């Protein structure tokens, strides 16, 4: 999505740059159009001067006593028409207009230049229509003067001939000037366009007009695409803002939930530490109890009260219960007996048993130190079983080799 937006922005910038370039070209062509308008105004002023001169001559003729003949009026009419045509063509092929046919301008098929040329053609056609209407009015006035001249008296032939000669000379000079102007304009057109026929020039400008229309169509399509891209940009901006704000709200809620979870974790860790301490204390206590119970069971192992499974999970409890049972049996056996005499016998038994252990250790040491080369008799105090002590032995003598 962001890559598409980036491509669209680049395309929009490119279109904006193209539009700026076209605007600059339109500005330059507008300046040229203003120059052409100025040239057109100059030619119109010239035409007005000619019309003024015609009116002046009309008044001069009206003041004369004799009227001209039909031939002189027709020549005068033709001269006036020629002057109007020359002014029309000089306006159409003005040197300012020839700037348009510069090769550097015609080589570039710019749409703006085509539009300018089309506008100039429209303006020239409009001016041509105005001139044609002026010519028509002039012809009408000429006809009126011709009819008036027929009714006038005979004019002096010398004045008519001199005026006609002067008019024909001036018309010839103007015609030569117009022809040279036309030739120069056509030469420049040939250099600019590379063609030798006026029809080809017209076709070239028509083709330029078609290109201009095509470029205008492309410009309109690009403007529509640019508008769509702007709308998409605004929509994406709104979506981005919505996602941004929703993401921030979601992040804040998740952060709050995370803080609560961390708080609960700390509480559970504290509970775990306290439970671990209690467990260690209980394990330590259980070990102490187990050691005491095992010691007590060792003391009471001569009392038979059933078997114990060392691998059982409740080994300590079973030992404790058996010790309790054995103690109960022992208390039951000691009921009604002299406890002082029994305690004395127990002390004597412990003394004899310790002595037996000492003699046995010495015997083992002597056997390891002296080889069995001779037999030695050693008197050992062997406890003899005593029924009162649960089957323990009392004094007895054993021989050891």
Q: What is the pLDDT of residues 252-299, one digit of tens each?
A: 888 888 888 899 999 999 999 999 999 989 888 888 887 887 777 777
Highest mean pLDDT among 131-135, 161-165, 276-280, 363-367: 276-280
- 376 backbone dihedrals φ, ψ, rounded to 5°: -125, 135
The position carrying tokens 């009206």 is: 62
Give the domain extent around 100: 2-239
pLDDT at 311 over 80: no
The SS3 of residue 386 is: strand
| 246 falls within a domain | no
Count of the separate structural domains present in the chain: 2
| Residue 26 to residue 250: CA distance in whole angstroms | 54
At residue 365, the pLDDT reads: 63
| 210 falls within a domain | yes
**Stretch 158-187: mean pLDDT, rounded?**
66
Considering only residues 144 and 113, tell me which one the structure prediction assigns the higher pLDDT: 144
Range from 45-49, 193-197, 245-249, 361-365 carrying the lowest mean pLDDT: 193-197
At which of 214, 239, 264 does a domain end? 239
At residue 85, the pLDDT reads: 58
pLDDT at 144 over 70: yes
At residue 265, the pLDDT reads: 92
Could you write out the DSSP letters of every residue in 193-226?
A: H--S-HHHHHHHHHHHHHHHHHHHHHHHHHHHHH
User: Could you tell me the pTM of the whole model?
Assistant: 0.24
At which of 213, 239, 265 does a domain end? 239
| 333 falls within a domain | no
| Residue 394 to residue 60: CA distance in whole angstroms | 188
- 384 backbone dihedrals φ, ψ, rounded to 5°: -100, 140
**Stretch 78-92: mean pLDDT, rounded?**
55
| Residue 294 to residue 112: CA distance in whole angstroms | 113
Percent of the chain exceeding pLDDT 90 equals 4
- How many other CB atoms are found less than 10 A from the CB of residue 29? 21
- Same domain for 366 and 221: no
- Same domain for 352 and 203: no
At which of 196, 219, 239 does a domain end? 239
Q: How confident is the model at residue 71 (pLDDT cuts 50, 70, 90)?
A: low
Q: How confident is the model at residue 25 (pLDDT cuts 50, 70, 90)?
A: confident
Range from 69-73, 96-100, 161-165 carrying the lowest mean pLDDT: 96-100
The SS3 of residue 309 is: coil
**Stretch 183-188: mean pLDDT, rounded?**
70
């Amino acid at each position: 999505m962001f890559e598409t937006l980036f491509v669209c922005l680049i395309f929009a910038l490119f279109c904006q740059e193209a539009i700026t370039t076209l605007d600059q070209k339109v500005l330059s062509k507008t300046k040229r159009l203003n120059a052409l308008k100025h040239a057109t105004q100059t030619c119109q002023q010239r035409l007005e001067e000619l019309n003024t001169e015609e009116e002046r001559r009309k008044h001069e003729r009206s003041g004369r006593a004799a009227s001209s003949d039909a031939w002189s009026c027709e020549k005068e009419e033709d001269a006036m028409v020629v002057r109007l045509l020359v002014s029309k063509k000089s306006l159409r092929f003005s040197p300012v207009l020839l700037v348009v046919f510069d090769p550097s301008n015609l080589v570039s098929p710019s749409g703006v230049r085509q539009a300018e040329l089309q506008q100039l053609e429209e303006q020239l056609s409009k001016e041509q229509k105005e001139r044609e209407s002026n010519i028509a009015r002039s012809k009408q006035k000429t006809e009126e003067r011709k009819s008036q001249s027929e009714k006038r008296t005979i004019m002096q032939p010398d004045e008519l001939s001199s005026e006609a000669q002067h008019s024909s000379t001036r018309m010839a000079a103007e015609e030569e000037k117009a022809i040279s102007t036309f030739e120069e304009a056509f030469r420049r057109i040939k250099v600019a366009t590379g063609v030798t026929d006026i029809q080809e020039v017209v076709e070239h400008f028509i083709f330029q007009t078609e290109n201009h229309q095509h470029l205008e169509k492309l410009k309109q399509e690009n403007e529509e695409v640019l508008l769509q891209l702007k709308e998409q940009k605004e929509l994406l901006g709104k979506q981005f803002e919505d996602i941004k704000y929703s993401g921030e709200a979601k992040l804040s809620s998740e952060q709050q939930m995370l803080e609560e979870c961390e708080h609960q974790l700390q509480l559970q860790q504290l509970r775990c530490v306290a439970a671990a301490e209690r467990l260690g204390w209980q394990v330590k206590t259980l070990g102490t109890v187990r050691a005491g119970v095992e010691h007590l069971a060792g003391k009471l192992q001569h009392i038979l009260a059933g078997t114990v499974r060392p691998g059982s999970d409740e080994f300590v409890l079973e030992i404790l219960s058996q010790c309790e049972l054995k103690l109960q049996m022992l208390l039951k056996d000691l009921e009604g007996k002299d406890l002082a005499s029994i305690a004395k016998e127990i002390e004597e038994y412990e003394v004899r048993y310790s002595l037996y252990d000492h003699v046995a250790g010495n015997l083992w040491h002597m056997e390891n130190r002296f080889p069995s080369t001779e037999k030695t008799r050693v008197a050992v105090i062997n406890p003899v079983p005593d029924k009162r002590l649960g089957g323990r032995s009392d004094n007895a003598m054993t021989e050891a080799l």
